[in-house]
Amino acid sequence: DAMVIQNPRYQVTQFGKPVTLSCSQTLNHNVMYWYQQKSSQAPKLLFHYYDKDFNNEADTPDNFQSRRPNTSFCFLDIRSPGLGDAAMYLCATSPDRAPYYEQYFGPGTRLTVT
Amino acid sequence: AQSVAQPEDQVNVAEGNPLTVKCTYSVSGNPYLFWYVQYPNRGLQFLLKYITGDNLVKGSYGFEAEFNKSQTSFHLKKPSALVSDSALYFCAVRDMGRRGNAGNMLTFGGGTRLMVKP
C-alpha cells in the first residue's frame, strides 16, 4: 500500500545532542510537510517542501532544519535539542492538484529529550 | 486571517448513540474543509473533506459531515457511535491566503477528544 513512513517511531536524545528524524513516502507527492505536535494540541507546521523548494514558517526556530534529497525522502534535523523540543513530530505529504487537497500523515516520531 | 474553532474540548457519548463534533470556520471565499482523526501515539488520518457540491459529505468509518455556509459550520456526525471511535478529532481548512508554491497548507482547530463509553 502507498504510504508515509516515519523512522524511528520513538527517539530518545540528550539535551544538546543533534538528532535526525526521517520520513519517506511511496505516494509520489510533490509536497512534504513537517509538523510539531505537543500533548494533544493541534499540529504546528514547521516547514514544507514544494518539490525541492524549501518553505520555512516564520516562527520556526533556527534550531530546526530540513533536507529533501529526493521526492521520496525528507529529514528533520534538530541541531541542539532542548527540553522544550520534546514532542511528536509528524510528516505529511500532499499532491498539488485539484481536488486532492488533503494531506496524508505518517505515524509520527515521538521525541524525548533527557 | 482564516481560523477554525472547535468549541468543545471533549465530547462524551454512549455507545450506540449518535455523535456530533462541532466545527466552525472563518475564511474569505469558498472554504475547503477537512476532518482528521488521531488515535493515541499515531499520526492524523484523513476522514473526509468538503470542496464543493453536496453539503452532506460521507467519509471513512461511517462518519459524515454537513457543510452549512450560512452558519459557517462543518460538524462531524455519526449515527451510532462505537467505543473504537474514541480518539482526538481535528477540523481543518485549507489556507487560501498563501502565494507561490504554497502546497495545501491547513489551518487546524484545537481538537476535540471524543470519548465513547460502553
Convert the pLDDT of each residue in A56-112 to its tens digit.
999 999 999 999 999 999 999 999 999 999 999 999 999 877 777 889 999 999 999
**Residue B28 pLDDT grade (very low, low, confident, very high; cuts 50, 70, 90):** confident
Which residues of chain B from 55 to 84 reach within 8 Å of chain A, CB to CB?
none
Among chain A residues, the shortest Cα distance to B6 is held by A42
Does B110 contact A at CB distance below 8 Å?
Answer: yes
* Window from A98-107, B9-18, B20-29, B92-101 with minimum mean pLDDT: B92-101
**What is the mean pLDDT of the segment spanning B19-32?**
93
What pLDDT does residue B79 have? 97
Contact in structure between A1 and A102 (CB atoms under 8 Å): no
Each residue of B41-100: pLDDT tens digit? 889 999 999 998 899 999 999 999 999 999 999 999 999 999 999 999 999 998 866 555
Decide if B53 touches A, using CB distance below 8 A.
no
Dist. CA A50–CA B8, nearest whole Å: 34
Chain A: residue whose CA lies nearest to B37? A105
Q: Which of A31, A40, A102 shows the shortest C-beta gap to B46?
A: A102
pLDDT at A20: 97
pLDDT, one tens digit per residue, over A1-44 is: 669 999 999 999 999 999 999 999 999 999 999 999 998 899 99
Determine the residue type at B46.
F
pLDDT (tens digit per residue) in B104-114:
789 999 999 99
Which ranges of chain B does DSSP label H, i.e. alpha helix? none
Q: CA–CA distance from B49 to each of A10, A34, A103, B30, B99 (Å)?
A: 31, 21, 11, 13, 22
Q: How many angstroms separate the CA atoms of B47 and B65, rounded?
A: 10
| Cβ–Cβ gap B43/A102 under 8 Å | no
Cβ-proximal residues to A93 (8 Å cutoff; 6+ apart), any chain: A4, A25, A27, A29, A31, A32, A33, A103, A104
Q: For residue B103, is pLDDT > 70?
A: no
CA A33 – CA B19 distance, rounded (Å): 31
pLDDT per position as a tens digit, B70-80: 999 999 999 99
CB B98 within 8 A of CB B92: no
Cell numbers for B2, please give them. 482564516
